Structure 1
Amino acid sequence: MKNVRFLNIITLITLCHTVFAFPNNYTFPVNITKTPVTDGGKLIGKVVESPANTVVSFATVALLASRDSTLANGVVADENGVFTITNVSPGNYILRVTNMGYQTRVVANVKVAAEGNLVDLGNIVLVAEAQKLSEVLVKGERSMIVDDIDKKMVTIGKDLLANSNNVSDLLEKIPAVSLDENGNPQVRGKGNVVVLIDGKPSNLYGSDLPTILQSFPANLIERIDVMTTPSAKYEGEGASGVIDIITKKSKIRGTNGGMRLSLGNKNNHNASGNLNYRAGKFGLNASLSGNTRAMTWKRTLSRDNFISENTSHLEQSGKGGNNGNNTFGRVGMNYDINEKNSLELGMNYSRDNSRNNSNLLNETSLVPGVVSESFRRINRGKGNGNNVNFNFDYRKKFADKDHQFNFTSSYSLGGSDGESYYMQESAIDSLMRSQQNLRHSNRKSLFLNTDYTWPITPKSTLEVGLRSRMSSNDNTNSFYNMNRETGSYEFDQNISNVFAYSDATYTGLMTFSQKTDLWGMRAGLRVTDYNQNIDQISIGREFGVHFLTLVPSLALTRKLGESSQMKLNYSRRVQRPEADWLNPYTDVSDPRNVKSGNPNLRPEFTHKAEMGYSNYESSGGFGPSLFMDYSNNAITQIRTIDESGISLTRYDNVGRELAYGLETDFSQKIGEVLKINGSGRFFRSEVVSTLAQINNRTWSYSGNLNAFITLPADFRVSAYVNYEGPRAIAQGTREGVFIANMGIRKDFLEKKATISFNVQDIFLSRAYKSQLNTATYSQNSYWQQTNRLVNLTFQYRFGKISAGGNDA
């Protein structure tokens, strides 16, 4: 029945286009006139390709004033290459014609006389990039922030790539984005972020987000879009925001590619290569990467338990490490059926192997300074997983280039296996034990996405879309205790769990955009029907959840100048409980701090508002904004203590969370030597719950800074610092975290090759501290990464590296 509804909606969209669409021979004029005039001359011409004078569709034609090269007027050529520029004041001009895949053509000394009103420029001939030399040098790169109506787009340039091996490295350098101790992205210091890859959910590439981000090569990324108040066009989930990672899709004719090798200390190595080929209507791209990684850590936990008559004290201290290797491969094909229709096919494959170990000493005292019981818990674990993802995309353009129909789909399947061995050593016989934990999972998911964009008028656009996502996951989590008499492991049903879950999400969305010379508006509504079923097979318990959510959004912009604008954004977000949060299985890997799910969780709804100003030019700019996030049923982890001093942590809807403050990002090029960019914010965070007896409020500040210094002989030095200030969390406070990285690079072989030396976490300051205080306990915890990462990287590029660009 749902498939029938889906087809009916598609039919309706097609019918709307048939009834309301403009004739095929009608083209909307594109007017980017800087200063409108009421009367003047007219320029006409046609853009063609050398040597056969074939039509070049939709080239950008800019008319520049001869005296200072400022933009005077401009249009986009139609599908036949014809352009007309009207209302041109008398004077001398320069005509600049650009189009992806072609060399920029500049026509000087274009004169418009006072007495003449028509200038025929004839054919403007462009030369395809494929006709240039077989080796093309990089002219430059951009690390430029573009402020759109509902997002900020950060172009990934050469500076960021030089000291970034993977997407995780890139995200740490993006304004407002940081990573927590597990490698999960945060926006404005908070988790619950939706991460997309080319507009599709990142979980199509695997179940573990940090592993996905670490395996995705940085040199495949074109830009990263950050949405702190996303419009209804994007995923409704993610209380903190949405990050969309846009990969490169080369349209350049010929062959280009590159390779990268990074050697690091403590077995942190990375190698990758990519190749792109395009001839005529056909394009092919492929990439392969592999890495080995190793990280060591130490942790402490100190807790006073007040719940029983006699206060007990728990002290934990230990260290451990995680290491592994990952392989990632990608192949894609695109084919332009004609000027209006194109297809893309792709496949991604990843495989990850991990090893982890920990050694944790647990000491409990009933009398200060006197240890009543002590045991050491040693863990050795390993795991592996794989994932394959298939993509099919179809795009149809109509007479107006902004009039489009897109269909995208992804299907992925994968699985993982793991095993952990716990050895508990103690002088107390009852505390000695040996346990085995075996894990296995299989997953699959299907994502379908349909978008229709209809420019109703040259200044107003309607977008409608349908989304459906279906996934399933079967999990087995088996615990075994060793029988000390027989020496064999015996299955423990009380702490084992076999469960399966499936979910299905059906979404309809609509956005309407209206633009004038000064004002812009985008209003949207997203309706999502979410269904989830969890089956605890091991105990014969099955339950499901169903949520119907509405996510409205509104964005307003007002241009103040050629590059400056004000904007006001509002969005309602929803954080639906994840399967692991709902599943009431109890994790006893740390027997003094156990974890469990909560099947009674409800969705968290967050209201997000932002008012900002932005002014970005080629030399730099800044974008300050006031922001506010409010939720009255926030999902967060709550820790409770029983009389034996064992804590239970699970997610719960605690009450009200509020954050508000001032944030700005900035970039500036200072002369020809120094370029800086970064972001900073000063904010208030509050977590309040009468039921849970929580009332935490604090002022704080955070920020990051990237600096790039150009030295003689093609050397460039880069430095990166990030500080995430303290903030209120449920039941306590999390302290600030400081990170500093530094690198130096040199281009050679006519800028086709780069060698760089980088140091991450220079001061070994990646430490996470928190204090929790309730009526029943007081706890301080500390976690720190203990190995500094140092690597030497060589990168080589060949072929058609760039279709142009400006040095930045």
Structure 2
Amino acid sequence: MKYLSKLWIVILFALSSAIVVQAQEKFKIIGLIVDEENTPVPFGNVGVFTKSDSSLVAGAASKEQGNFELAVVPGDYYTRITYVSYQPQFIPVTVRNRDVNLGVIKMVANTDVLDEVLVEGEKSQMELKLDKRVFNVSNDITNASRNAADILDNIPSVVVDVEGNVSLRGSQSVRILIDGKPSGLVGISGADALRQLQGNIIERIEVITNPSAKYEAEGSAGVINIVLKKDRKKGFNGAFSGNIGVPIELGISGNVNYRKGRFNIFGNYGIEYDKRPGEGNSEQIFFPETDSTYTTIRDRDHQRGGISHTFRMGTDFSITDNDIITASGLIRLSDEENKATIRYDDFNGSGDLTQRSIREDNEGEDEENHEYQLSYKRLLPGKGHEFKLDLQFRDGLEVERSDIVETYPLDNSREDLLQRSVNEEGDANFLIQADYTYPIKEGKKFEAGYRGNVRQITSDYIVEEQNEQGEWVSLENFSNRFVYDENVQAAYAIFENDMDKWGYQFGLRTEYTYISTFQRETDEKNERDYLNLFPSMFLSYKLNKAYTLQASYSRRISRPRFWYLNPFFSFSDRRNIRTGNPYLNPEFTDSYEFGLLNNLENSAFYAGVYYRHTTGLHQRVSYGEVLPGDSIVTTFSMPLNLGKEDAFGLEANFTYDPAEWLSMNGNANFYRSIIIGEFEGESLDRDTYTYNFQMAAKVKVGELDFQLRGNYRGPEITTQGERKSIYWMDLGANYKIMDGRGIFNFNIRDLFNSRRYRGFTETDVYRETSEFQWRARQFSLTFTYLINRKPGRNGGRNGGDYDGGDMGM
């Protein structure tokens, strides 16, 4: 009874308190929300929070005319005004015994300007930030009508080799993402897929050389994030382009966006047809143990290309003031017809021609990729307090069919060799990731998240040869059915503190990996799993407003790529075969970097030194072997865990705008690599120095813009030879008509046709010199028409009106 009476007292006290609170007079908080052009913003989210504990006390949406009204009791508050693709506005409010008018509140487009140093006054081609470098490639007029591989090859410190492999600061262990996540646009192999990714849907490229624990640990050299276009302006707007080029290049593309109130829809479509000629040659001198020395000269001509379609569509929808859902889908279809002709001339030790063979490969390549994404974002009480959830599913199918004929013009008694191959590759991937950000207080925040990724890749590769009876017989040494399963589960936590002068961040990421490979031909299964910790640390010190020092450390992993594990996948050149290694282990890298960032009124400069220590290094090793039933040496290239590498480098970036009509930017990278390793008792130790330079200048004369970009890559000693130097220049020009709504662009890729890859390889069986040009000089003309969209001052085709995907885990 005593407890019951006390309970009644508590209830009566609570009721009386509620009555007193309700009896308190409420006063209005009113205001008007406009955008940067002073246009009213309807359906903007307005929340009122207590200053003491950030609890929400009132909320409303602005009306069609942009005005809003809320009622609260007297107290100390702050208001948070948010709208999709605009920076949140926080305004302190003290309500006493009268209404409060906040006046006109101007929203600013969200361009992620925190901790940013903008290189140019407008949408710069290059932006230097404390954690990454951003290249606004749509503002580079030499990039018109380019594909993703071409664009990446013009990014400082990024190299795309003759086979399409991407490396960053001398390492191919780099992770490529689309809008912050793995994507079917990169494809299974990555190399050919990047050549098929049309550049007109790319807004910018972000290069992160030392990622924090928030990013997935994959990629020893860092992360390259390709951000696709997504408009953030209200109403209807878009851009449509058409291009024509020599060698054959035809394309039409368009991107549109419609935004009203809480709803936004965006989409783009592109169709492209091209034919890309290329050529190469090599001289191989063989000295097998059981035969005399002989020489093979190989000449190759090829033409690759076909038709491709890319369609992407998505929507943003604000369910409530604090809940936003984004859904998007992407489909890419391609149909290529590739032709390659290889001529082998064999000479004996006296220099006499003993044999000639001509191998013609006609390949049809069909590819289909689908990708679906769903994202949810919840804004929680407090500035920067939020939760994000992302779901992604993608699948792809690529089928390559080759018909091969090899003839022997100097030997009439020898029958033609007929071969064919079919390679069917499938890829299915599911990704889920969640990110939580909690601001502790001014300058301090805590982040945590989870990421789960499950993937399966299958490859059915069959090579057949026609025998004397006209029957097709499988070549068992090269046919293979391969299944690759990968399951990566990860969690991370980060603490950050940004003070007046000092700033620091500490993070830890845990990843569990399970990988399984299965060769159905041999019924051989290889399973492995490992649990790893990946710490990251960042430290910055602001000397003054113009100078900032930065130091960072991270541990990274590079798991073997699918093509590094798959034993066989190509038979186009039967004398030079690239294979995989299903027993390859991951490589681990500890990466350190220290740099100085300087920003002045009309220039910016960054200089940094870096060091990477890698164990279990992935390197391709070449060797020669005489196959059963053959009298000549076949060369093989296979990836191995070669040993360890210590890499040292110095990198510098600068921009300089001496006048309104002139802007310049450049990059230099000096690099030293020491590799210690061996293969079959042979030492493959290497100590090499190399350097890369890039310089670009843009001149503006009225409505006409000119841009010239030059690249030079110095020679480099490789594990078994040397890569020679390479240089090239690109030229572009823009001319605007119809008050800037129409833009003509003309550009020449590889102005002097000098982009040729040259190298030298030596093993205990052969010595080879080679030269290869993957793609010849290209002339392109593009016309772009803008609808309700302003061109950028730089003459960029899209004026920087786009927003892109955030970097995810």
Equivalent position of 1:283 in the other structure? 264
Could you say if the C-alpha distance between residues 748 and 588 of structure 1 is closer, same or farther in structure 2, counting changes exceeding 3 Å? closer
Alignment of 1:50-449 (within 5 A): 123-126=102-105, 141-143=122-124, 145-156=126-137, 158-160=139-141, 163=144, 165-203=146-184, 206-309=187-290, 310-426=292-408, 427-428=410-411, 432-449=416-433
Equivalent position of 2:748 in the other structure? 759
Q: How far has the Cα of 1:232 moved from its partner?
A: 1.7
Deviation digits for residues 246-282 of structure 1, max 9, x if unmatched?
A: 2334332211111011111121122210110011000
1:677 maps to a residue whose letter is N
Equivalent position of 1:698 in the other structure? 688
Query: Does 2:447 align with 1:463?
Result: yes
Q: Aligned partners of 1:241 and 1:251: how far apart in 2?
A: 29
Give the conservation status (yes or no) of the 8 Å contact 1:587–1:595: yes
Give the conservation status (yes or no) of the 8 Å contact 2:142–2:730: no
Deviation digits for residues 631-674 of structure 1, max 9, x if unmatched?
A: 23210100112355222210001123232121111111121111
Give the conservation status (yes or no) of the 8 Å contact 1:413–1:444: yes
2:693 maps to a residue whose letter is G
1:265 maps to a residue whose letter is V
Equivalent position of 2:725 in the other structure? 736
Counterpart selection for 2:539 from 526, 536, 556: 556
Deviation digits for residues 267-320 of structure 1, max 9, x if unmatched?
A: 112221011001100000011001112221221222223341533333212211
Give the conservation status (yes or no) of the 8 Å contact 1:165–1:270: no
Q: How far has the Cα of 1:205 moved from its partner?
A: 5.6
Could you say if the C-alpha distance between residues 161 and 561 of structure 1 is closer, same or farther in structure 2, counting changes exceeding 3 Å? farther
Give the conservation status (yes or no) of the 8 Å contact 1:149–1:555: no
Deviation digits for residues 207-258 of structure 1, max 9, x if unmatched?
A: 2424443444445434321011121222212222211122334332211111
Q: How far has the Cα of 1:122 moved from its partner?
A: 5.2
- Could you tell me the TM-score, scaled by structure 1's length? 0.81
Query: Does 2:664 align with 1:676?
Result: yes
Give the conservation status (yes or no) of the 8 Å contact 1:257–1:801: no
Could you say if the C-alpha distance between residues 102 and 559 of structure 1 is closer, same or farther in structure 2, counting changes exceeding 3 Å? closer
Deviation digits for residues 414-434 of structure 1, max 9, x if unmatched?
A: 212121111111245568411
Q: How far has the Cα of 1:701 moved from its partner?
A: 1.6
Deviation digits for residues 141-193 of structure 1, max 9, x if unmatched?
A: 41154443332223445344863544334323333223222334321243222
1:599 maps to a residue whose letter is P
Q: Aligned partners of 1:558 and 1:496: how far apart in 2?
A: 58
Could you say if the C-alpha distance between residues 803 and 765 of structure 1 is closer, same or farther in structure 2, counting changes exceeding 3 Å? closer
Q: Aligned partners of 2:717 and 2:59: how far apart in 1?
A: 56
Q: How far has the Cα of 1:626 moved from its partner?
A: 0.9
SS at match of 2:231: coil
Query: Does 2:621 align with 1:633?
Result: no
Equivalent position of 1:720 in the other structure? 709
Could you say if the C-alpha distance between residues 481 and 345 of structure 1 is closer, same or farther in structure 2, counting changes exceeding 3 Å? same
Could you say if the C-alpha distance between residues 55 and 122 of structure 1 is closer, same or farther in structure 2, counting changes exceeding 3 Å? farther
Alignment of 1:9-24 (within 5 A): none
Give the conservation status (yes or no) of the 8 Å contact 2:240–2:253: yes
Q: Aligned partners of 2:40 and 2:564: how far apart in 1?
A: 63
SS at match of 1:170: helix
Q: Aligned partners of 1:647 and 1:102: how far apart in 2?
A: 57
Could you say if the C-alpha distance between residues 187 and 129 of structure 1 is closer, same or farther in structure 2, counting changes exceeding 3 Å? closer
Q: Aligned partners of 1:464 and 1:653: how far apart in 2?
A: 33
Specify every segment of 5 or more residues in structure 2 that has no aligned partner in the other structure, as ranges: 1-28, 48-57, 63-67, 69-80, 90-98, 110-119, 627-631, 801-809
1:125 maps to a residue whose letter is V
Give the conservation status (yes or no) of the 8 Å contact 1:147–1:153: yes
Greater Cα shift, 144-153 or 715-724: 144-153
Greater Cα shift, 209-218 or 550-559: 209-218
Q: Aligned partners of 2:722 and 2:646: how far apart in 1?
A: 14
Counterpart selection for 1:660 from 643, 648, 658: 648
Q: How far has the Cα of 1:786 moved from its partner?
A: 5.7
1:669 maps to a residue whose letter is D
Could you say if the C-alpha distance between residues 530 and 52 of structure 1 is closer, same or farther in structure 2, counting changes exceeding 3 Å? closer
Give the conservation status (yes or no) of the 8 Å contact 1:239–1:605: yes
2:261 maps to a residue whose letter is G
Q: Aligned partners of 2:657 and 2:582: how far apart in 1?
A: 53
SS at match of 2:609: strand
Equivalent position of 1:15 in the other structure? none
Q: Aligned partners of 2:126 and 2:39: how far apart in 1?
A: 37
SS at match of 2:591: strand
Alignment of 1:541-552 (within 5 A): 541-552=524-535
Q: Aligned partners of 2:397 and 2:44: how far apart in 1?
A: 47
Greater Cα shift, 433-442 or 306-315: 306-315
2:441 maps to a residue whose letter is T
Q: Aligned partners of 2:44 and 2:569: how far apart in 1?
A: 63
SS at match of 2:155: coil
Q: Aligned partners of 1:589 and 1:380: how far apart in 2?
A: 9
Could you say if the C-alpha distance between residues 732 and 564 of structure 1 is closer, same or farther in structure 2, counting changes exceeding 3 Å? same
SS at match of 1:750: helix
Q: How far has the Cα of 1:801 moved from its partner?
A: 4.5
Give the conservation status (yes or no) of the 8 Å contact 2:618–2:640: yes
Specify every segment of 5 or more residues in structure 1 that has no aligned partner in the other structure, as ranges: 1-43, 60-77, 83-96, 106-119, 131-138
- Could you tell me the TM-score, scaled by structure 2's length? 0.81
Deviation digits for residues 761-780 of structure 1, max 9, x if unmatched?
A: 11111111111223443221
Q: Aligned partners of 1:633 and 1:666: how far apart in 2?
A: 35
Q: Aligned partners of 1:305 and 1:146: how far apart in 2?
A: 50
Q: How far has the Cα of 1:493 moved from its partner?
A: 3.1
Q: Aligned partners of 2:729 and 2:656: how far apart in 1?
A: 20
Could you say if the C-alpha distance between residues 802 and 101 of structure 1 is closer, same or farther in structure 2, counting changes exceeding 3 Å? farther
Give the conservation status (yes or no) of the 8 Å contact 1:466–1:507: yes
SS at match of 1:646: strand
Q: How far has the Cα of 1:45 moved from its partner?
A: 11
Greater Cα shift, 428-437 or 551-560: 428-437
Q: Aligned partners of 2:421 and 2:465: how far apart in 1?
A: 9
Q: How far has the Cα of 1:51 moved from its partner?
A: 8.8
Could you say if the C-alpha distance between residues 126 and 228 of structure 1 is closer, same or farther in structure 2, counting changes exceeding 3 Å? same
Could you say if the C-alpha distance between residues 334 and 492 of structure 1 is closer, same or farther in structure 2, counting changes exceeding 3 Å? same
SS at match of 1:539: coil
Give the conservation status (yes or no) of the 8 Å contact 1:676–1:708: yes
Q: Aligned partners of 2:593 and 2:750: how far apart in 1?
A: 32
Could you say if the C-alpha distance between residues 651 and 325 of structure 1 is closer, same or farther in structure 2, counting changes exceeding 3 Å? same
Give the conservation status (yes or no) of the 8 Å contact 1:204–1:410: no
